[in-house]
Amino acid sequence: MKSSVLKKLAGETAIYGVSSILSRLLNYVILTPYLTRAFVTGEYGVVSDMYTYAGLLMVFFTYRMETTFFRFGSGSKEQMDKTFSTASWSLLVSSSVFVSILLLSSQFLANQLKYPEHVDYVILFTFIIAFDALSAIPFARLRLENRPIRFAILKTLSIVINLIFIFFFLEGCPMLIENGVEWAAKLYDPDNRISFVFLSNLLASGLVFIFLLPMFRKLKFEFDAALWKKMLRYAMPLVVVGFAGVINQLISMPLMKYLLPGDLESKLSEIGIYGGCYKIAILMSLFTQAFNYAAEPFFFRNAKEKNAKETYAQVSQAFALVGSLAFLGIMLYLDVVKYFLDDPYHVGLGVVPLLLLAFFGLGMYYNFSIWFKLTDRTKYGAYISLGGVAVTLTLNFLLIPKIGYMGAGWAALACYAFMATVSYLIGQKYYPIAYPVGKILGYIGSAILVYYLSQMIDLSGSHLAIRLLVSTGFLLVWLGGIYLVEGKNLRLKDR
């Protein structure tokens, strides 16, 4: 396996990463600072809470057809077209059914979510999820066809449109109302500002779906029932995996609404603080998400190559190195990164290292879990994910009432460490790969150690420039140590 293959994966990861980083950068530099200042912690807690449920519903709406598309659409163009049509028609019909059910039960759902006066939240998210679900297969085809640039442009455009509408509603409309513009007064309700955050998302999702409509020119009036049944059999365990993944990643926030002591307002405030700090930790998720976008189709395309397993091992080592660097970089410069959040949210920064390590574990799970997708043993993915759910729920119920959102952080870390470990161990039986486990543990272990040592120096009263200078010194020491140990092995070579 030549280094050109790895370099191609790295290039595609970089492109997906640019779109993820650019879009998230717009969120972090503009949207998150704005929303955490525009809304009190309790209001921001409502936003975090609703997006958790949206993530859960998205799994049901797509039932992992995008991953299934990679499995059955790889090969000839004819096969790709047939799979694209079958998957798209399946999602179109099922999404119509799901939308109808949610709309008919919208008031009941609003009551259960403890927002009885805001049935509009349910309605808005119903259509957001529907548009995103219908966009899933076109986006998957762009990935399978090696068109990361168009993928990146559309993903970034979605964030930009969302930002434009949020500022239009929350800033532009009040300004227009002050200047006597009547239509703005009819459009904008200052007592229901949170709804306009969700409405902005709906408009962005709808417009991106419209931009993807040319992809449906490849859609034929063809539905292969036999292929669809095979796809469903393959996908159903992955639905469990996806549902479990959302639970593991996001369920802590709605659980806090029921497990934390105090009234609903104080609970939503805690959720808002956790949600804000969670945004910082998602900086690690940018890397894992970009990697997963590129790696999933890459693994399927190269599964039959002679040295595929050696390549997968090299990919996991590279991921671990960059992920460790990301952890250390964020934590050493948290004095700067924290200002993306307003001051009331800084009280929760102690949970950030736990969440960063949790996302690192999730990334390693992505590496170690490829075996059950390549060998069509997706049921094992479901078993592992359900085990992760058991860890998540158990620790959340035990820890949140005692230590609040810190318990949620420990639960996330334990969950992903468990899933990565179990997936690695079982994978060695069915699809053995010589992963460099020692080096992977060395990278992240040394990064944690260097961060711990940096915290032993009390610079709380020092100027920010001095603290950053010391942090830079620790980062350089870690990088120097990595170079001394690895040396030229860090360079990609032809084999």
What pLDDT does 156 receive? 82
How buried is residue 74: exposed, middle or buried, by Cβ count under 10 Å (0-12/13-18/19+)? Answer: middle
Is 495 contained in some domain?
Answer: no
C-beta separation of 134 from 95 below 8 A: yes
Two tokens at 148? 């990361």
Residue 28 is given by DSSP the state I
- What lies within 8 Å, CB to CB, of 443 at 6+ separation is 320, 321, 323, 324, 482
* Segments in the chain below pLDDT 50: 1-2, 492-495
For the chain, how many structural domains are there in total? 1
Q: Is the pTM of this model over 0.75?
A: no
Q: Quote the CA–CA distance of 74 and 373 in Å, as a whole number.
A: 13
Contact 371, 431 (CB under 8 A): yes
Q: What is the pLDDT of residue 303?
A: 61
Whole-number pLDDT of residue 209:
93
CB contact set of 385 (below 8 Å; sequence gap of 6+): 240, 241, 243, 244, 245, 248, 419
Which structural domain range is residue 230 located in? 3-490
Structural tokens at position 21 = 């980083």
Q: How far from the centroid of its chain's Cα atoms is residue 459's Cα?
A: 34
| Rounded Cα distance, 107 and 97, in Å | 18
pLDDT for 141 equals 85
Q: What per-residue confidence (pLDDT) applies to 2?
A: 46
Look at residue 192 and tell me if it is in a domain: yes
474 touches 332 (CB < 8 A): yes
pLDDT score for 445: 94
Cβ-contact 215, 134 below 8 angstroms: no
pLDDT score at 235 = 82
pLDDT of residue 5: 52
Contact 330, 404 (CB under 8 A): no
In a domain? residue 207 = yes
Task: Give the pLDDT score at 493.
Answer: 44
